Amino acid sequence: MAEKSAPPKIILLKGNGGITINNEMMELLTITLAHGCIGLPLKALYAENVYVVENRELFWEIHKQIKEKPCCFVHAIDGLDEEDLKRIKAQNVTFM
């Protein structure tokens, strides 16, 4: 019997610029300005610049420190493991 894989982790996303998450394109700036962030399961994330922000308090304030465009800030409440990180495709991934 095949081993059942764990369900995808829920991540919080905010930032600016376009991304593709779970095969759906979205503009982060619109979501960030309207709602602060969005929470989605991490199946596949494609973005130019990704910042993985481990500290939740820092995640809420990170846009004040990093003004780079485009960028995508990611926070996983339960943290990201190696399998999760394989689902993130970006030119630059920075851990904070």
pLDDT tens column, 58-71: 999 999 999 889 99
pTM of this structure: 0.91
Q: What's residue 53's pLDDT?
A: 97
Placement of tokens 């689902």 in the chain: 87
What does the DSSP 8-state code read for residue 63? Answer: H
In whole angstroms, give the CA distance from residue 75 to residue 95: 10
pLDDT confidence bin for 2, thresholds 50/70/90: low
